[in-house]
Structure 1
Amino acid sequence: MRLKIFAVLIFIFSSCATLRPPFEYEPKVVIAWVVKSDSTSFLSLQKNSSLVSIVSPTWLRIDSVGNVIADIDSGLLNFALQNDLPVMPLVVNHGFRVDVAEALLSDPRTRERVADSILKFVLDGNYIGINLDFEGPFIGVRDGYTKFVELVCAKLHNYGKIVSVDVVSKTQEKFTGWAGVYDYAELGEVVDYFIIMAYDYSGRLDPPGPVAPKWWVEETIKFAISQGIKPRKIILGIPFYGRWWVGNSQGRGIYYPELQKVIAKYNLKKKWDGKAKSPYFKFKDENGVENVIYFEDERSLSEKLKLVEKYGLAGIAIWRLDGEPDEFWKIIELKLKPKGFLTN
């Protein structure tokens, strides 16, 4: 009888041990893009840096002959150093121009030279890595871009640096338009972070609609995973902006400082798009012209962060910091930061 009781006690204690919360918890990555030309962007970083894993300032562009042109913000750089905030500069093909991309990517020697220049910049600045943001419908050099990313990864990985790549969202394979230039499977294999820019579903030339409807964002995640990309590499690009259509004009981006003024001017009450899980405003201005503004709020942000958890993604990237509501950061802290566990 004593043996049976002893065995039961051992089982109970061992079971309790396995039910204890883990003491190791991997927080989600929060990448924040900061734009030098907008002082509000840097102010937002200063205010919320404790919740930012990596800051990615938009400092670099490459011209058609392969020169890496830097416009470094010394104030941001000093702030990052003082606060132990990792910096991963963003680099673009100048103006997102097709001719620039073609000139850089079609020739193996040019790809090598540009990759070496990026490596030198990262090492000289002691940055943690680079964020590649080549965009445009440069379909003719799609394979060249893949080889270029592979080359940058090989060079930077030799020095323990990381490489992230930004890709335009797609829900199925295509070889046309801005999304067609990205070979998801090949890029996802070599980079450290695969950043899906899950916004601009309704873009500048589209009719009024949501910037990042949840159903579509989820489809972009599922497609990326279907291409063999490990969820722990995937970063979900989140919009901190809206889009504003006035009459039949093209939609333009609107950030929160301006949005707050519009709300106050017209005394707007937000509506909710149930399918898109997105808020919007619809109103007539003083000229009788219909206006539509789709944007993000804490409710729509929370809906998208649920997808990060659902699919086990690495985290989020925010385009871009610019006077967003404090509630956004409260939700990010709640959803993406480590849970507090009791210690012995």
Structure 2
Amino acid sequence: MKLKLLTLFAFIFSSCATLRPPFEYQPKIIMAWVVKADTTSFLSLQRNSALISIASPTWFSIDSAGNIISNVDSNLLNFAIQNDIPLMPLIVNQGFRTDVAESLLSEPSVRERIADSILKLVLDGNYVGINLDFEGPFVSVRDGYTKFVELVCAKLHNYGKIVSVDVVSKTEEKFTGWAGVYDYAELGEVVDYFVIMGYDYSGRLDPPGPVAPKWWVEETIKFAISSGVKPKKIILGIPFYGRWWKGNEQGRGIYHPELRRVIAKYNLKKKWDGKAKAPYFKFRDENGVENIIYFEDERSLSEKISLVNKYNLAGIAIWRLDGEPDEFWKVIEVKLKPKEFLSN
């Protein structure tokens, strides 16, 4: 049976464009970003690979000259091949720089050249597709980005490859800032998967608050659907991280390995934000400075995953694998049943 499933999976991802996802009969997708610079990210992939539908390693970026900068992890690549894990690498505008995006997206000939380079990258690596993660306030080339994504889709779809696009969350139409770059309606029409980054509601420059309050995440989903994005294409990005504010300092990201050390050091007891449906810590350190840490636990994760089922979305994308609690995966397995992937 396993061999039959693998054969079917290989056929689907290598066939003509008419067999591209999203599949109506497909159980929920578990997409996970894997960061090479963090060894615990790869370890998490190894431990939980049976529950992961698609891994997206953060290997590639494009500089202002249009060169693709590669940082492939051969250990992860070999592990994925040996364990039949589909890879859909992430590619970014280098440093999320506006000037890089503008240099790549302003001219049709440059967009064409970059799209051809991405196609070659996907075909040479035998990846199932590409995850486009262009970010930054490059609203001056918003239309250029839409045309670029359309071009990448057209080229990759000719080879039966998948294109997913990551978009900054918004609850209403915007034409400024990081969220203003994305034309939800046009992008949602052409891509295979539309990945809403359902996090950073409270960013590093914001006052202490939840990273991904449930009410806000739900509003971002509703806005995407109202913009014309089909629910079966939407993958909800969920955070496996928290944010830590110390005194008057900017907030910074904190992942669970460090969080566990902080909990042990200060003997912390978590509190619950009822409106956000999120846990947090509030304490004074040895210097008398007030600290606030908002993070995720299995309860807050379950709350957000319930939205995937409520709106019949395609699945979730995890930013990022990094020493998260085993309980997270138990929640995912129970609520999304990823092991049934392509079994119908």
TM normalised by structure 2 equals 0.91
Q: Separation in 1 of the partners of 2:201 and 2:338?
A: 31
Deviations for 1:163-207, whole angstroms, at most 9, x for unmatched residues?
A: 000000000000011000000000000000000000000001000
Residues 25 and 150 of structure 1: CA distance in aligned 2, closer, same or farther (over 3 Å): closer
Q: Separation in 2 of the partners of 1:125 and 1:139?
A: 32
Is residue 239–residue 319 contact of structure 1 (8 Å, CA) maintained in 2? yes
Deviations for 1:259-293, whole angstroms, at most 9, x for unmatched residues?
A: 00000000000000000000000000000000000
Partner of 2:318: 318
Is residue 29–residue 338 contact of structure 2 (8 Å, CA) maintained in 1? no
Deviation for aligned residue 1:27: 1.3
Q: Which runs of 5+ in 1 are unaligned?
A: 1-23
Deviation for aligned residue 1:220: 0.1
Is residue 26–residue 338 contact of structure 1 (8 Å, CA) maintained in 2? no
Q: Separation in 1 of the partners of 2:77 and 2:157?
A: 23
Tell me which structure has the larger Cα radius of gyration: 1
Is residue 25–residue 338 contact of structure 1 (8 Å, CA) maintained in 2? no
Q: Larger RCO: Structure 1 or Structure 2 (Cα < 8 Å, ≥ 6 residues apart)?
A: 2
Q: Separation in 2 of the partners of 1:193 and 1:140?
A: 25
Q: Separation in 2 of the partners of 1:143 and 1:320?
A: 29
Partner of 1:153: 153
The code of the aligned residue for 2:52 comes to V
Q: Which runs of 5+ in 2 are unaligned?
A: 1-23
Partner of 2:290: 290
Q: Separation in 1 of the partners of 2:317 and 2:236?
A: 6
Residues 339 and 30 of structure 1: CA distance in aligned 2, closer, same or farther (over 3 Å): closer
The code of the aligned residue for 1:78 comes to N
- Superposed CA RMSD in Å reads 1.0
Residues 273 and 62 of structure 1: CA distance in aligned 2, closer, same or farther (over 3 Å): same
Partner of 1:209: 209
Q: Separation in 2 of the partners of 1:160 and 1:237?
A: 24
Deviation for aligned residue 1:339: 8.7
Alignment of 1:186-335 (within 5 A): 186-335=186-335
Residues 25 and 104 of structure 1: CA distance in aligned 2, closer, same or farther (over 3 Å): closer
The code of the aligned residue for 2:154 comes to A
Q: Separation in 1 of the partners of 2:304 and 2:284?
A: 30
Q: What is the aligned residue count? A: 317
Q: Separation in 2 of the partners of 1:249 and 1:168?
A: 24
Q: Which aligned segments of 4 or more residues in structure 1 are displaced greater than 2 angstroms?
A: none
Is residue 149–residue 187 contact of structure 1 (8 Å, CA) maintained in 2? yes
Partner of 2:337: 337
Q: Separation in 2 of the partners of 1:208 and 1:299?
A: 20
Matching of residue 67 in structure 1 with residue 67 in structure 2: yes
Deviation for aligned residue 1:26: 2.8
Give identity over the alignment, percent. 83
Deviations for 1:18-48, whole angstroms, at most 9, x for unmatched residues?
A: xxxxxx9631000000000000000000000
